[in-house]
């Protein structure tokens, strides 16, 4: 294993005791990006773990299909369209991870002559056959890679047969990613893409953004991806937190999200008060959200763009107010009211602030509640959201779908009346 590969391994897998990453954990990650036979715009996940990469890619994939493509039926796309949209999605994520347009991109592929043998399903037989030798060659029409690694491809062997390609421009990147379509869909395609993102971002840059540099991107015991990994793919930054901006904790700066993301992130952990998701992830540019549970990531989406329209004055006020309420108590000390009003460009003359304080805190409790504050300055604002619209849910795990067929589920039609 080269020194470079060792740096990547330490960052991704850590330094687990007992001789390295277990074979079962590594095997769960040895799959590629494979479309469901039952849903042409859905990626399949074979085992638990790689959802930390597959779900973000699926979210961006849906964004590009739903909003960057004119087609009456977004669920029906051809194999050629699958190839185009997947590769453009992977390129987009790599571009996001790149620190500047002038920086080089890196693609991790198999070393020449070292492509492992992976089984493939055919429409006429279940016998396994070899993967085509040329990475960019077209496999026979009747074959579709399963993206499951050959059984004898272990952790050490995988890292001994990797090759790093250097790409000098965005246009060249898109061409190279497209030429490697069957690599991304074949054995270990998910890991090859993840390593490409990491090298493009820069190992040192990622370490500078991660809150705890001892925490690997993939848990070597349980096999799940970290929040830093999800954030890296969603925003291009491997920060460990999901709130807006940076926060100071006893002199330590904790990094969060600094701009509106293209796709969002929501988590069950917030309802349990383990974390606070900021507006930049809750209100993304497109109405697509990665959903985090205790053990899995899925995707929730709709075509209703009014859900993610420009931030209204009341939404901005809520976000600013909550930035002064880091513990999410729903109130701030009255001493901070003037700061909040200044941040919102409201009249903040001391005499007027005093009048507002007495109105919002008539019992002199020394606190200002969020609800009354919004009603005072931003009453009766119409959101412009329609009364009803369909929403869909994607879960890439076969066993989590009806009849083990991975499909987008129309889970309900939202109705506000």
DSSP 320-365: HHHHT-TT--SEEEGGGHHHHHHHTT----HHHHHHHHHHH-TT--
Nearest partner of 133 among 189, 60, 182, judged by Cα:
182
Please tell me which residue, 116 or 218, carries the higher pLDDT value. Answer: 218
Tokens of 154: 């272990």
Query: CB-hemisphere CA count at 13 Å for 270?
Result: 14
Span 391-405, average pLDDT = 93
Domains of the chain: 3-308+388-415 (no CATH), 313-377 (1.10.238.10)
Q: Is the CA virtual torsion 110, 114, 116, 117 positive or negative?
A: positive
Residue tagged active-site, from 237, 255, 296, 408: 296
DSSP H or E stretch at residue 126: none
What is the Cα–Cα distance from 176 to 147, expressed in whole angstroms?
Answer: 20
Q: Over the stretch 338-351, which tens digit does the pLDDT of each residue have?
A: 999 999 999 999 99
Residue tagged active-site, from 51, 87, 98, 188: 51
User: Percent of the chain having pLDDT more than 90?
Assistant: 63
Torsion of CA 80, 86, 88, 91, to 10 degrees: -140
Q: Is the pLDDT of residue 146 over 60?
A: no
Q: Over the stretch 265-316, which tens digit does the pLDDT of each residue have?
A: 999 998 888 888 998 999 999 999 999 998 999 999 999 898 887 778 888 8
What strands lie across the sheet with 297-301, from one edge to the other? 264-267, 288-292, 297-301, 388-394, 409-415
Tokens of 382: 């119409």
Nearest partner of 106 among 194, 178, 33, 1, judged by Cα:
194
What is the Cα–Cα distance from 396 to 52, expressed in whole angstroms?
Answer: 11
Any idea which residue has 């087609």 for tokens?
Answer: 71
Identify whether the C-beta of residue 202 lies closer than 8 Å to the C-beta of residue 99.
Answer: yes
Q: Any catalytic annotation for residue 296?
A: yes
User: pLDDT category, 2, cuts 50, 70, 90?
Assistant: low
| pLDDT of res. 153 | 80
DSSP H or E stretch at residue 394: strand 388-394
Nearest partner of 287 among 302, 272, 274, judged by Cα:
302
What is the Cα–Cα distance from 357 to 379, expressed in whole angstroms?
Answer: 18
User: pLDDT category, 17, cuts 50, 70, 90?
Assistant: low
| pLDDT of res. 411 | 75
Report in angstroms the alpha-carbon separations of 76 from 37, 158, 316. 11, 35, 38
**End-to-end CA, the chain:** 61
Angle, alpha carbons 29-184-33 (nearest 5°): 60
Q: Is the pLDDT of residue 136 over 50?
A: no
Q: Over the stretch 154-183, which tens digit does the pLDDT of each residue have?
A: 888 899 999 999 999 999 999 999 999 999
| pLDDT of res. 247 | 86
What is the Cα–Cα distance from 156 to 20, expressed in whole angstroms?
Answer: 9
What is the Cα–Cα distance from 110 to 90, expressed in whole angstroms?
Answer: 17
Any idea which residue has 């690599």 for tokens?
Answer: 183
Question: Could you tell me which residues are beta bridge partners of residue 414?
Answer: 389
């Amino acid at each position: 294993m080269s020194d470079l590969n060792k740096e990547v391994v330490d960052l991704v897998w850590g330094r687990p005791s007992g001789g390295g990453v277990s074979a079962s954990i590594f095997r769960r990650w040895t799959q590629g990006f494979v479309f469901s036979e039952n849903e042409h715009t859905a990626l399949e996940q074979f085992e638990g773990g790689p959802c930390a990469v597959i779900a973000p890619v699926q979210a961006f994939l849906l964004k590009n299909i739903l909003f960057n493509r004119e087609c009456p039926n977004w669920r029906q796309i051809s194999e050629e369209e699958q190839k185009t949209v997947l590769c453009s999605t992977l390129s987009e994520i790599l571009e996001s991870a790149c620190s500047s347009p002038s920086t080089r991109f890196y693609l991790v592929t198999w070393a020449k002559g070292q492509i492992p043998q992976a089984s493939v399903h055919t429409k006429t037989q279940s016998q396994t056959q070899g993967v085509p030798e040329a990475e960019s060659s077209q496999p026979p029409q009747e074959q579709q890679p399963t993206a499951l690694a050959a059984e004898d491809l272990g952790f050490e062997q995988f890292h001994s047969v990797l090759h790093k390609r250097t790409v000098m421009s965005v246009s060249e990147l898109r061409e190279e990613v497209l030429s490697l379509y069957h690599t991304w869909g074949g054995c270990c395609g998910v890991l090859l893409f993840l390593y490409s993102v990491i090298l493009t971002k820069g190992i040192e840059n990622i370490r500078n953004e991660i809150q705890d540099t001892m925490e690997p991107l993939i848990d070597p015991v349980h096999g799940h991806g970290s929040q830093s990994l999800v954030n890296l793919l969603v925003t291009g930054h491997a920060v460990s937190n999901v709130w807006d901006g940076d926060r100071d904790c006893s002199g330590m700066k904790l990094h969060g999200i600094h701009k509106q993301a293209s796709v969002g992130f929501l988590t069950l952990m917030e309802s349990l008060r383990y974390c606070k998701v900021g507006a930049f992830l809750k209100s993304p540019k497109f109405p697509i959200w990665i959903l985090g549970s205790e053990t899995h990531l899925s995707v929730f989406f709709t075509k209703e763009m009014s859900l993610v329209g420009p931030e209204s004055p009341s939404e901005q006020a809520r976000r600013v107010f909550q930035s002064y309420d880091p513990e999410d108590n729903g109130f701030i000390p009255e001493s901070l009211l003037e700061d909040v009003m200044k941040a919102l460009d409201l009249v903040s003359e001391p005499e007027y602030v005093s009048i507002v304080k007495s109105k919002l805190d008539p019992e002199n409790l020394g606190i200002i509640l969020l609800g009354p504050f919004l009603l005072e300055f931003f009453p009766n604002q119409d959101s412009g959201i329609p009364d009803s619209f369909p929403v869909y849910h994607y879960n890439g795990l076969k066993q989590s779908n009806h009849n083990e067929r991975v499909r987008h589920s129309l889970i309900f039609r939202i109705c506000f009346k």
